[in-house]
Amino acid sequence: MARRRRIPEELGIFAVIVLVAAIFGLMSPTFRTFDNANLLLLNGAVIAFLAMGQAFVLLTGGIDLSTGSNVALTGMIAALTMRSGAPWWVAALAALAVGALVGTVNGALIHYLRLPPFIVTFAAFGVAASIPLILTGASSVNVADPMFAIIGRGSLFGVPMPVVLVVVFAIVLTVLAVVGGVSLFGGIGSLPGALLGAVLIGTVSNGMNVVGVQSYWQPLVIGLIILGGVIIDTYRRQSSLSDLLGRVLHRGGPTPPADPVATSDAPQPARAADGARTG
């Protein structure tokens, strides 16, 4: 029997993105402009970076609620490092080191103390969110280094630099994913699926800005999208399990293991009988 060709799960997310983009494009000509496309990708780059990191957490069946606070903490560390007179690359390394430290502490508490990831990362969320406010007295810190500004505001051949960095890291990290979109239940997923999810959220947010939807509606819409994704993922998993059980029941259950005695060669009982007669 020929094997059924498997349709990539990312195709469904891509179709939704095309549909959402078409709707916003019909609602506003501004959405279809090249400048708006660049702005969409630029604003979605932060979400994409978070999605890439979160994808690996979900692939192991875990969850990390501290990513947003970690971004705020590492960004403030970079700004304070440059304000102290250090060059931009030292500030960037300091930010990466602090971010890695937060992740290491979270992982160590979860692995060695067997604490729930939800509790550990929720606590880290509060700690990482408070430290920047404590260090700065809840005031902003200006960054004047032009080289550091290139990372966030520069471009390469007209493409925003954050988008270029997302593509580079996505290519490197894709070597580690399997086929399929990341499942919220762990063990299933791919980096392209996570990135498409980030593009979907960025497209919805950008489209609502273009058509003039008030900003306080955006979290509601994005929350409903995430809820819908969880519902679809749950239904898909349950349907797959139901199909598997149906196939097993249709075939009368799994085949029991073969009995080595029952499948032995027929001449053996005859030889045993001969031996009994000679004895």
Residue 187 backbone phi and psi in degrees, to 5: 85, -10
- Written as six digits, the tokens of 92 are 């960037």
pLDDT in tens, 134-181: 988 888 888 877 888 888 888 888 788 888 888 888 887 776 664 345
Confidence band of 9 (pLDDT split at 50, 70, 90): low
Q: pTM here? A: 0.65
Rounded mean pLDDT of the chain? Answer: 78
How far apart CA 76 and CA 71 sit, in angstroms, is: 9
Residue 16 reports pLDDT greater than 50 = yes
Between 53-62, 104-113, 184-193, the lowest mean confidence (pLDDT) is in: 184-193
Could you tell me the residue ranges of all domains in the chain?
A: 14-213
How far apart CA 67 and CA 125 sit, in angstroms, is: 7
pLDDT in tens, 137-150: 888 888 877 888 88
Check: CB of residue 193 under 8 Å from CB of residue 182: yes
Mean pLDDT, residues 73-90 = 91
Confidence band of 124 (pLDDT split at 50, 70, 90): very high
What's the pLDDT score for residue 15? 81
How far apart CA 54 and CA 34 sit, in angstroms, is: 29
Q: What is the DSSP letter of 8?
A: P
Which residues sit opposite 156 in a β-bridge?
159
What's the pLDDT score for residue 58? 78
Q: What angle do CA 162, 96, 175 make, to 5 degrees?
A: 65
Burial grade of 229 (CB within 10 A; 0-12, 13-18, 19 or more): middle
Report which of 126, 120, 109 is spatially closest to residue 73, judged by C-alpha positions.
126
What's the pLDDT score for residue 275? 46
